[in-house]
Structure 1
Amino acid sequence: MDAVTVPAEPFQELVDHARETRVVVIGGGIAGLVAAWECAKVGMAVTLVEASDRLGGIIGSARIAGLDLETGVTCWSTRGGAVRALAEEVLPDAAIVRPRDDREWIAGLPKGAAAPLPVEQVLGIPANPWDESVRRIIGWDGTWRAYIDRLRPPLTIGTQRSLGRLVHGRMGDKVLDRLVAPLTIDRFGLDPVDVDVEIAAPGLSNALTRTGWLGGAVADVRVDAPGSSIEGLGGGMPQLTAALADRLAEREVAIHTGAMATALVRSDRRWTVQLATIAAAAPDRLHADAVIVATEESTARSLLAAALGAPEFADVAAAGIARDVVTLVVEGPELDTAPRGAHVHAVPGASRATGLVHETARWEWLAQEAGAGRHVLRVAFGAPGIAPATEGLSDADAAVMAAAEASVLLGVELDEGRIAGARRDAYTLVPPASTLGRRHRTDAARAAIARAPGLAAVGAWLSGSGLAQVVADAQEEADRLRHDALWGAAAAE
C-alpha cells in the first residue's frame, strides 16, 4: 500500500505566520490597548510602547478623601455594544451596571431658576413646546415661537445639516439657547451650530420631511428610543484597562512605559520605530511588520507625516477644546435625595462651569462606598472659544470655585468647609463624530494612512469622542491591519 501523504494544515500555516508577524502599537491608552489585544489574541507578536508612566490614557483613577475614584471616562454609550462585549471578553466577572438615576436638569435660567430636562426631546429639541416641562424652561414667548414652526408650509423645509441653524430657524432662540446649547456644549464641547444633525440625530431630517415640523419629527424618531443609554462598571472603569493589560501579559505582549516614539520609518518592507526612553530596560528602537499609531492627534500627525512622506500631514491643527474637570468629595446630606438628578447642564453664559455630574446620584456602587451624606461631584469648565475659568488657578482655588459653581447648579450651599477632598484634571476634549466637517477631515487622514502598507492609526481624533466609538474603531482598524498582514499576500496572488 502506498504511503499516505498528509498535506500541510492551512490553519497551522496561518498560526505560524501570525507568530512571525511583529506588530508595534504606539500609545497605551484605551485605543492602543484594544488594538494590541485584537492583534495579540490571534497570535501576533505585539509590542506596546507608552510615553507616560501608566496605561489607560483617558481612563484613570485617583485617591480622593479616602475613596478610589475614576478620572476621565466613567461610563460608555450602549450604542453598538462594542464596549460591553469587550468588558465581557476580558473581564467576565465584572458587574456591568446602569445608572440608578439618569435625570438631567438645566440650570442658569432667568432669576437663577433650574428645571428638569424634558423627557420628550432629542438633543434638547422638544417634541411638544406646550408641555409644562418645556414651557418652564423657554417661557411663554419661547413656546409661542417654537409652535409657529408647526404652521409653516411644507415647502419651506429644505435641508439643514447644522443643528444650531436648524433649531434657530424653526423654533427660535429660546429653544436653542436654553435647551439645545446647554447639552451640546456640556456633553461634547460643541456649539450647536457645529453639530451635524444627520450624524447626531439619525432620521431626524427625514422625519422632518414626513411630519412637516421639528417637534413632530422629534416625536417620530423617539418612538423607538431606548431607555438609559449608558453603562459602567461597578467599582470603576480602571478595571477595564487593568484587565486588558493582564490579558496582554498572558499573551506575552511586551509593554514598555516611559518610552516615547520619536520617529517612524519604513525601509526594506519593514517599519522602524525610534524611541526615547527613560527606563533602562526599554529599547531605543523596534522593528516591525506592522505599526498601529494610537496617540493623541498632534503626536500621531507628527509621526505619520514622516512615515507617509507627507510633511503637510503634520500641519493640520489638532481639533478640540481645553476642559478642566474638578472632582469633589463633599459633605452634603442635602444631596442624598439627588434634588437635581445625575447631570446638570448650565445655560451658556449663566455659569463659569458648563455643568456637573452628580456621580453618587448616578451610580449605586459609588454611593455605597462614599456613605450617606458624602457625595462625589465632577464639575466641568471650558467651552468653545472660552478657556476654562479654572485656568491659572491653584488646585485649591480651583476646588473652591468648583464648589461655588456646584452650589449654584445644584441649588444646595456647598461652601469651602464642605470639601473633603478634590482633584483637578485637564483634558483636550476631542470633538465627536457628529461635528460638522469632521468626516471629511478624518476620511482624508484615513485614506492617506491606508495607502501605506502595514500601517494603521486609531484613537478619538479619528473615531470621534466617546468610549463606544473609540473601542469599535480600534477593533475595526486592528482587524483591517491584521487581515492585510496575514492574508494580504495570499489575496494578492
Structure 2
Amino acid sequence: MSSPRDTRVETPPAEAPATTVIGGGIAGLLVALRLAEGGHRVTLLEAADRLGGQLAPQRLAGVELDAGAESFATRGTAVTALLTELGLDGDVVIPGGGTAWLHRARGAVPLPAAGVLGIPAHPLAPDVVRAIGLAGAWRARLDAVLPRRVGGDATTLGELVEARMGRAVLDALVTPVVRGVYSREPGDLPLAVAAPTLLDRLRQHGSLAAAVAGLRANAPAGSLVASLRGGMFRLAAALADACRASGVDLRTGVRVDALPPGRVVLAAPAPGAAPGRTVTVVTLVVRTPLLDGAPRGSGVLVAPGGGVEARALTHLTAKWDWIADAFEGAHALRLSYDGVPTDAVAQARRDASTIFGVDLPDPLDSAVRTWHRPAPETHDDGTLRTGEPVAGSGLAAVVAHAESLAAAILTDSRPAATGERMDG
C-alpha cells in the first residue's frame, strides 16, 4: 500500500502559465492536478454544486454506496496507477458472486464466458449454444469460413457482428452486453470506440472469433473489473483533495456558455454539443432469503424482448463483499434504465422480481439517480478536450486520455485554445 500524498497546499508563482479547466468530473480534476503539479496556475469551473461527475455517493439504509460508476475496467494501468498515487491502492477490491447471467424471453442463462463485448470466441461452445440455440451457433460458426472482406467496411460494432456472425449473436449476446456497458445499441457504437483494433485483428486472423480469442489471450490475468472498498466516489474526493493541495482554485456552481480567454481545457460537453442520452440508476435494498444464494450471480444483462424494462441488474451484495458485510443480510440491487422510467422504484421492483423469478418484498430503502451521458464528439476545432465525449466510456478510457492530454500540454505539444466568456 502506498503512502498518503503530502497535503500541504502549494501556491504557484504569479508568472506561472494560467489554465482554466471547465468541468469537474474525473477528467477535469485529473488534468487540473497534473497541470498544477507541472507549475501552472489552474482554475477549475464546475457547473454543478459538487465535484466528481459520475462518481458520486448516496446513502441507503445507513450505508454509503455509489450513485454512479461502481467499478472500473482493469485493462491498462492508468486507473490502478492513479489509485496507488492517491494512497487508495490498499482498498482495491475484485468482484465475487460468480458469473453474470443473461435474461431472455426464453429464460435466464449464464453469460458465455469466452467473449469480448458478447462476441463469442468459440461459437459452438456449450454455453453459447445454450444462450442462442444451435442454429444461431452454427450461423456464427460460418464466420470461420467467410472471406476476410465480409464486414471489413463496417463502421459500427453492430454492422461487424451481424455480417460475420449473424442476428442471433447480435441480438442475444452483443446487444445486452453493449447496452449494459455503453448504454447504447451496437448499431450506434463506432468500432473506433468499442474495439479499435478489432478490424485489424480480423484481417490478421481471418475470422471475428479468432480476433476475439486473440484479444482475450492478450488481456492481463485476473478480474476484468475492480472497485474501491467504500465506493468509487472516494476516487473523486481524493482527486479533489489533491487538487486543493496543489493550489488548484476549485469553483463549483459556475456555468460557462462559451470558452473564456486564455488556455482552456474543456472537460465537459462543448457549448452547443449534440444532445446526449439520459440513463437512470435505481438502487433497492430488500430483505429476503430468496436471494441469499445469489441465484443470478453477480448480476444480469437483459436481452431485448425479455419482458423487462431495465437493461441490467447488479446484485451489489453478491458482487462486492464489503457491501454484503455492510448490509448484514439484506440485499442491495442496482438496476439501470435508458431514459427515466415512470414510478422508477416500483418498476425496478417489478423488473428485479421478473429477473430473479421471485416476488420481491417492498424495499427497505431505495434511491433513484438520473445521469446525462454526453454524445461522442469527433470534430476537432483545436480546443483542448478530454472527458467521455472524446475519450470514450468508462474510467479506464477517461483517466488514460486525461493523463495523455495533460502530458501534451506540459510539453507544449498543442497550442492554447481561446474563446470569449459570455457568462459564468
Shorter-chain TM-score above 0.5: yes
Name the structure 1 match of 2:251.
256
Asked whether the equivalents of residues 103 and 116 of structure 1 are also in contact (C-alpha less than 8 Å), the reply is yes
Matched, 1:474 2:402: yes
Aligned counterparts of 2:199 and 2:406: Cα–Cα separation in 1:
34
TM-score (norm 2): 0.86
Asked whether the equivalents of residues 151 and 163 of structure 2 are also in contact (C-alpha less than 8 Å), the reply is no
1:218 maps to which of 212, 235, 239: 212
Offset, 1:248: 2.2
Q: Specify the code of the residue in structure 2 equivalent to 1:238.
A: F
Offset, 1:42: 2.6
| More displaced 10-residue stretch of structure 1: 89-98 or 358-367 | 89-98
Asked whether the equivalents of residues 17 and 486 of structure 1 are also in contact (C-alpha less than 8 Å), the reply is no
2:265 maps to which of 273, 289, 292: 292
SS in 2 for 1:115: strand
Asked whether the equivalents of residues 56 and 67 of structure 2 are also in contact (C-alpha less than 8 Å), the reply is yes
Matched, 1:422 2:366: yes
Asked whether the equivalents of residues 12 and 41 of structure 2 are also in contact (C-alpha less than 8 Å), the reply is no
C-alpha root-mean-square deviation of aligned residues, in Å? 2.7
Name the structure 2 match of 1:322.
278
Q: Which runs of 4+ in 1 moved over 6 A?
A: 15-18, 485-488
Offset, 1:214: 3.3
Asked whether the equivalents of residues 78 and 468 of structure 1 are also in contact (C-alpha less than 8 Å), the reply is yes
Matched, 1:96 2:101: no
Name the structure 1 match of 2:225.
230
Matched, 1:404 2:354: no
Q: Specify the code of the residue in structure 2 equivalent to 1:98.
A: I
Offset, 1:85: 1.2
1:367 maps to which of 308, 320, 324: 324
Offset, 1:19: 5.7
When residues 235 and 158 of structure 1 are mapped into structure 2, their CA distance, relative to the original with a 3 A threshold, is closer
Asked whether the equivalents of residues 18 and 42 of structure 1 are also in contact (C-alpha less than 8 Å), the reply is no
Asked whether the equivalents of residues 79 and 229 of structure 1 are also in contact (C-alpha less than 8 Å), the reply is yes
Matched, 1:355 2:312: yes
Greater Rg over alpha carbons, structure: 1
Matched, 1:69 2:100: no
Q: Specify the code of the residue in structure 1 equivalent to 2:93.
A: V
Identity %: 39
| More displaced 10-residue stretch of structure 1: 204-213 or 246-255 | 204-213
Aligned counterparts of 1:461 and 1:484: Cα–Cα separation in 2:
23
Aligned counterparts of 2:250 and 2:187: Cα–Cα separation in 1:
43
- Residues 285-317 of structure 1 show CA distances to partners (whole Å, capped at 9, x for unaligned) of xxxxx332322x1xxx22xxxxxxxxxxx3x52
SS in 1 for 2:412: helix
Aligned counterparts of 2:152 and 2:112: Cα–Cα separation in 1:
27
| More displaced 10-residue stretch of structure 1: 253-262 or 29-38 | 253-262
SS in 2 for 1:403: helix
Asked whether the equivalents of residues 157 and 209 of structure 1 are also in contact (C-alpha less than 8 Å), the reply is no
Q: Specify the code of the residue in structure 2 equivalent to 1:189.
A: S
Name the structure 1 match of 2:36.
40
Gaps of 5+ in 1: 1-14, 272-289, 303-313, 432-437, 450-455, 489-493
- Residues 260-288 of structure 1 show CA distances to partners (whole Å, capped at 9, x for unaligned) of 3344443xxxx3xxxxxxxxxxxxxxxxx
Aligned counterparts of 1:196 and 1:345: Cα–Cα separation in 2:
21
Which structure features the higher share of helix residues? 1
| More displaced 10-residue stretch of structure 1: 352-361 or 16-25 | 16-25
Name the structure 1 match of 2:287.
331
Aligned counterparts of 1:485 and 1:172: Cα–Cα separation in 2:
45
When residues 244 and 138 of structure 1 are mapped into structure 2, their CA distance, relative to the original with a 3 A threshold, is same
Offset, 1:411: 2.9
Name the structure 2 match of 1:448.
382
Name the structure 1 match of 2:359.
413
Name the structure 1 match of 2:139.
145
Q: Specify the code of the residue in structure 1 equivalent to 2:274.
A: A
- Residues 136-191 of structure 1 show CA distances to partners (whole Å, capped at 9, x for unaligned) of 11112222322344444567574434322222233222111111111112211222
Asked whether the equivalents of residues 21 and 42 of structure 2 are also in contact (C-alpha less than 8 Å), the reply is yes
